[in-house]
Structure formats: C-alpha cells, structure tokens
Chain A
Amino acid sequence: MTPELGQLALILALLLALAQGILPLIGAWRGNRALMAVARPAAAGQAVFVAIAFGILVWAFLRFDFSVQYVADNSNLELPWYYRIAAVWGAHEGSLLLWIMILNVWTVALAAFSQKLPEVFASRVLAVMGLIAVGFLAFIIFTSNPFARLLPMPGDGADLNPVLQDPGMTFHPPMLYMGYVGFSVAFAFSIAALLGGELEQAWVRWARPWTNVAWAFLTCGIVAGSWWAYAELGWGGWWFWDPVENASFMPWLVGLALIHAQAITEKRGSLRAWTILLSIFAFSLSLLGTFLVRSGVLTSVHAFASDPRRGVFILAFLTIIVGGSLLLYALRAPKVAAGKPFNLLSRETAMLIGNLMFAVAAAMVLLGTLFPLIGDALHMGRISVGPPYFGFLFPLLMLPVVLLLPFGPFLRWGKGDADALKSMLLRVTVAALACAIVAAFFVDGHMKAIVGVAAAVWIGVGVLLYAYKRWREVPRGRRYPAEMAGMLLAHFGVAVFVVGVLLSESLSVTSDVRMAPGQTQHIGSYDFRFDGAHRTTGPNWRADQGVVTVTRDGKDIAVMHPQKRTYPRGQVQTESAVDAGITRDLYVALGEPMDAGNIEGAWSLRLYYKPFVRWIWAGGLLMMLGGFVCAADKRFRLKRTVTRAEPAIETRLQETRA
C-alpha cells in the first residue's frame, strides 16, 4: 500500500506544480495579486509531497520491499544499508525523483528568500520553476514510475550496479544535480525578465549568488565523478571525454561564462542580452545532459537503460522549454538590452574574451559529443570522436583564458590603465620564465611539464600580485570581501589545476606487468614488490586481494591492497589501491591471475606512478570553494546597500567622473 501512496504524492505534487506554473503567470499578466500569491504556498506544498514520495522510496529500499520493481532491480538482501539509500538514485526512475526533489529544494529556497523582489517579478520566477517541475513530474509519472509493482514479489532483488557501490559515486549524482538544477534559478530569472520586458541590475545582483552556488555544486559533482573514475575504473585516468562526462562539462563551461557575464551586467549594466542568453543556455545544457544520458540517443560507457518513449518525452519537453525560451529571447531581448559602452582595454573586454572562449569550448564539446549522431544522420557510417579531438582543441581554446586571467582583475571597468598592465606583465613573465627554467632541471626536459609550471606560475603570481595590491591600497576590513576572496581562491584553483594536469600527464609512468609473488618492479624511483594474492570478503562481495609493498631506497613507503571483487550476481569490479600523496600518487590495479585456477600464483598487474595528480582535484575544489565563498558576500543579500563593497564604489566613482 505504501508505494501507492508515493505515487499518489507525486500526482498531487504535479497538480500543485501546475498551479504554481500557471496561476501566478496569469496573475502577473493581469495584475491579480491573489493569483500571484498562489506561487509560494503551491511551491511549498509541492515540495512536501515530493519529499513524501522520496521518503517512501527510501523506506522501500530500507525494508527490502522487493514488490517494488525499482527496489528489486537495484538492491538485494546483502546490500549494506548506506548503499541501499544510495541505490535510490542508482538508476533512471529514482535519479529523476532525486532531480525533482532537488528542484523543489531550490524552489523553496527561492520562495523564502525572494520576499524583497517585486511581487510581479518574483511570481514569474516561481512560475517558471513550477513549469519546469511540471515537465519532470509528468515525465516520472507517465514514463518512469519508481513505484511500479513487481508481482509476484521475488524473494531477493538483483543488485545495485557494483560500479556505483563506492562513496565517490554516492555523492556524485546529488552534487551534480544540485548544479544542474541550480541553473534553473538563473534561467527562471531570465525568463521572468524577458516576460516583464525589463531587467534591473539589482535583480541580477540578487541572482548572482544562486548561479555561483549552482556552479560550485556542479564543480563538486564533476570533481567527485572524476575522482571516482580514477579510483574505481582501474585505468588511472581522471577524464575520458565520454558523452556523459561531456554532458556535465558543457553546462559547467557555460555556467562559468554566466558567472562572469552576470558580474559585468550587475556592476555595469552591460551585456544584458548576453547574460540572459547564457542563463538560458546553461540550463538548457543541463536539460540536454539529462536528455543525452536518459534517452539513449548516444551510447556510452555509462550504459543506462534507454527507452524511445522516454526519449520522445524528453525531446518534446526540451523543445518546449528551450525552443520556447529562445523564441521569447528573440522576440523580447531588444527590450532589455542596454548598458554602458566600454573601451577595448577594459575589464569588460577581458572578461568577454574569456566568456567567448568558454562558449566556443562548450560548442566544441557539443559538436564532438553529437558528431557520431550527425554521422548516422548523414550516412557517414559509425564515427567515434574521442580524446584526440577534445584533447587538442580544448587546451587551444583555453590558452587565451590562461594568458588573460591574471590581468582581468587589474583592469578597470570601462577603461583600463595600460601602464599598470605593463609592469604587471613584466613581473608575471619574469616569474613564469624563472620557474620554468628551474622546473626544466627537474622534469627531464618534458616540454608539457615545463609549460604547465610556467602557466601555473603565470596565473598564480598574477593572482597573488592582485591580492598584494589590494592589501597595499585598500583600507583594512575592506580588502577582501567574500566576493573578492572567492574570486582569488577560484583563480588560484585554476593555477593548481593546470599544473596538476600538465605535470601528471607528462610525467606519469605506467607499467602493465606480470608478477609472480616476491617479484619486484621498478617504477619512477619506487620499487613495487608483489607479495601474492589471497581471498577476502566484504559485506556483500568476495574478492581476490593482492598485496603490494612499495619501497624507495630500501625504505618502506606503503603496503597496498588492490582487489578484484565479485558481487553476489556475478559482476566483477576492480578496486584499485591508491597511496595518495601531495606530490605523487602510487596506484595499483589488479588484473587477472596468469593461471585462472591458482590465485596464489602470478598475476597481471597495472602499476602507476602519477606525480601531482591530486592537484587536479585540489584545483577543482578550490574553484568550488571560490564559488561558495563568493556567494556568501553580504552585498548580494542586502538590497540597495551597495556602499559596503569596493567594486561598487569604483563603479560609482567612474560614473560620476564620466
């Protein structure tokens, strides 16, 4: 009976979402305050019912209710409780339920914090959120019901896909969805602005922290996914340009552009149309990501269930939401476009170049991801686009961004000062060259590694110089407001990321070897000794576990235990062993026994020495932290009390000067 209640809750949520999506729009159009007032209670009610449905599904997993098809497909009696909760979003139906629940979290937060916005505007924003919820709730109810029954009830269920039975994978989807769905706020703002025909700078200021938080969550989700792929898949790679990865990377790139465009629009009033277009794109790409993963249009290593009926539904939804908003943009954008002109040498120009590069990179990723499909359409046969394409074009497009990044903060809004730039250029160039020369002695002349050090120093020194400049020139207490600190952190994160990527790519050592117990393999400056393998068991798996002792110059460094796990339904999963360090990771993956019957004999092993690989995720986490810190700035919360923050003063001064 309980699962049916869950379904009923979803239907009630859909009805409330319809009320939230339609009535306030009519109210805003007609000036009817009663209809506009529907938005907030409807949003709250919808959230309650969705939470009930979600809770019921969690409950069904916890008490092994295999009469629910979804529970039977994704869990079994041996699955530990924490993975049974994670199994709620382990497959299609449940992950959509998570999606809609996160949308509700964002909507309720929006309803609570939007009291200070003009009523007409706020009710339009909430209505757009409601319409998005209508689409997803209808999708769940009509094509992907997580509460469908399986009768007769099986005695035991199948299993949660073993690749998902990992802490990294438990947090990856919720974080990613927080990001995807978070972009709906900026989207709703833009649609509301287009509908109303005006876009006040104050509203953009209010919307900025939401975008920053969404982007920070998305960053966190991508970092978690990348870390998981590294630790779990046993290939030692951290990014594969797989269609599903690309699906999360495209909104990230556009979101990054959006963060910067919103800053320009908020502070200068310029680029309004571009900001609106970017917020439509960021959310559209989030929807597209969902579409690509869930419709089965693209096949990838993330082999999820695909069902043409679902594909058709998402496509129709996508067409209405994205097509509709782009049409609205075409019709209404001229009304909101305005802003101050700016010089060629100005912060706006620098940020705009960055913006264009991110947008072009996102388009490049989109093209590469969809090219196999285009190939099918034009009868060019099976085409696959992979790392050679992305790995060549992406760094090329990011080169101008890396070069410009240190200068952005030094440039003034409107009209920059060329002299200040020259001294700055001199300093970062000297620093980058000096460090590159020093680095060259340590990296055996690997060009990529030298470039990596130079680029990281270029950015890092630029960021530090700016931090120092503010320390010197700005009075205490106002030096590093949260917005400024966030920016510095995130930009510094780019430096950390760049050096991590280039050093680990160029200096990694990989070795596929056959090792008998007692044999030693020399990699980097480390000796890996294989001490044989044995059987071991976990809560719901048994495994062959190898023991590898790593020494360096005779000193013990680590004892590593790579595993090859077998789950109850026969699925095999490698569990690499990683010895993490600040300057290097040691990584061992267990292959196959040389003689299938004798696990105590020789095994094939994959050994890696990966210098600085951890800096990649550290850089990502710094960027994430930057996003969160930035969003915490008080300036975004208090309406029209802009005196607290420095850039706003600069803006004003410049305005009076002009």
Chain B
Amino acid sequence: MSRLLPFIGFMLLAALFGFGIWWNTQHDPNAIPTPLLDKPAPAFNLPKLYEPTQTVSKADLLGKPYLLNVFASWCIECGVEHPVLQAEGPTLGVQLVGYNYKDAPADAKRWLAEHGSPYALVIADEPGQTAIDFGVYGAPESFLIDAQGVIRYKHIGPLTPEVVAKELKPAIAALRKETP
C-alpha cells in the first residue's frame, strides 16, 4: 500500500492541474479587474494628433459618451482590430476617440492614412505618461466613458465582432437607458 502513495499523490496533483486548466478556460487569467471601473476617468490634457498645438482635456469631452480606443502604429493587434472599428464604429452611436499611445506622430499619421481613420478625434500621448493614469499596459485597449466622465466598460486587447456584439453594445445600450 505504501508503495502506492506516490502514485496516489501524483493523481491528486494531476486532478488539481486538470482543475487549473478548466478554471483558466472559465476565467480569463489576464482579466485584471480595473479599479477604475465605474470611477471617474483620470483627468488628462493631451495634444491633438493633427493639431499638436491644441490640447484636449477630460472636461472638453464631457456631456456625451465616447469610446476611448488606445492604439499605436507599432501594435500588430491594432491592425487586427482596425477593420472591426471601421465597420462597427458608425453603428455604435457613440463618438470614437483615438488615443495614440507611445507613437511617433509621423508614424501614426501614416498608419491612419493607410488604413483609414474610424476616429472623430485623435489625441496623442507620445511619452505614455497619461496612459499610466488609465492603467493602460498595452495596446489596443478600449474605455467606454459616459457623459459624466465615468469609465463604464473596459476591454483589453482587440475588439472583435463578438466582443462588440456581446459586451460593448450592451454596455452602450445600458448608458442610453440611464440618460434618455
């Protein structure tokens, strides 16, 4: 019997690993709950990409909900997300604000010229300092911010048609219900 102990011990371990794999399929291990959810978005004041002398602040954007989409020309996943934004952007019913992250302005402009711009407005954060306040740790990321400047939804990674249909659009619909 005692010689079976290592085997039994290992089987328990294997069961634990099996559970671990199952758990990971149920829970996104990268889903770090953002402490900013349902909190006011951090204040920012960033230059416009196309008119660097003008800046946009959080206060300027209050009054209407908008989707803040973090992107960069160096980010490959953003290229995956881009066609989705192009196609779905006009149907969302909120303004799309591009947040150009750690990017050289010339690169960003070239990238947008090449792929087309789904954004009503693009702000540029070349040093990436403000992004830290938003808790951005990579591009693409998207924040849905309501008329009062509160973050209502956040998505890390590219927005896919599925995410847009199942998560983003319901979140936008929920906003509408509150503010008729």
Contacts and interface: CB of A to CB of B under 8 A. Distances in A.
B24 A306 contact: yes
Contacts of B4: 330
Nearest to A593: B127
Contacts of A311: 17, 20-21, 24
Contacts of B17: 291, 295, 297, 311, 315, 318, 373
B73 to A, nearest CB: 9
B68 interface: no
Contacts, number: 80
A319 B11 CA distance: 8
Interface string B56-76: 000000000000000010111
Size category of the A interface is 35 or more
Interface string B1-36: 001101100110110111111011100010000000
A569 B13 CA distance: 40
A330 B7 contact: yes
B16 A295 contact: no
Interface in B104-146: 127, 129
Contacts of B75: 570
A173 B14 CA distance: 26
Interface in A118-176: 158
Contacts of A273: 3
A277 interface: yes
Interface string A581-607: 000000000000000110000000000
Given A297-B24, A315-B18, A374-B16, A323 B6 contact: no
Nearest to A366: B13
Given A322-B10, A329-B3, A570-B102, A376 B21 contact: no
Interface residues of B, number: 26
Nearest to B5: A330
A315 B10 contact: no
Interface string A350-374: 0000000000000000000010011
A308 B21 contact: yes
A295 B16 CA distance: 13
Contacts of A322: 10, 14
A306 B29 contact: yes
Interface string A266-288: 00000001000100110010000
A312 B24 CA distance: 11
Contacts of A333: 3
Interface of A: 158, 273, 277, 280-281, 284, 291, 295-299, 306, 308, 311-312, 315, 318-319, 322-323, 326-327, 329-330, 333-334, 370, 373-374, 376-377, 568-570, 596-597
Interface of B: 3-4, 6-7, 10-11, 13-14, 16-21, 23-25, 29, 72, 74-76, 102-103, 127, 129
Contacts of A373: 16-17, 19-20, 23
26 contacts: A295-B21, A296-B24, A297-B24, A299-B29, A311-B17, A311-B24, A315-B17, A318-B14, A318-B17, A322-B10, A323-B7, A323-B14, A326-B10, A329-B3, A333-B3, A370-B16, A373-B20, A373-B23, A376-B19, A376-B20, A377-B16, A377-B19, A568-B74, A569-B74, A570-B72, A596-B127
Q: Give the 6 A-B residue pairs with the shortest CB-CB distance, closest first.
A: A297-B20, A326-B7, A311-B21, A330-B3, A330-B4, A596-B127
B21 A323 contact: no
A322 B6 CA distance: 10
Given A284-B10, A299-B29, A377-B16, 10 more contacts: A273-B3, A295-B17, A295-B21, A315-B14, A326-B10, A329-B7, A373-B19, A569-B74, A570-B74, A596-B129
Contacts of A597: 127
Nearest to B7: A326
Contacts of A570: 72, 74-75, 102-103
Nearest to A331: B3
B129 A334 contact: no
Contacts of B76: 158
A308 B29 CA distance: 12
Contacts of B127: 596-597
Contact of A319 (B14, B24, B29, B102): B14
A370 B4 CA distance: 22
Contact of B21 (A315, A330, A334, A374): A315
A323 B24 CA distance: 23
Contacts of A280: 6
Contacts of A319: 11, 14
Contacts of A295: 17, 20-21
Nearest to B2: A330
A325 to B, nearest CB: 9
A413 B3 CA distance: 27
Residue among B4, B13, B75 facing the most chain A CB atoms (10 A cut-off): B13
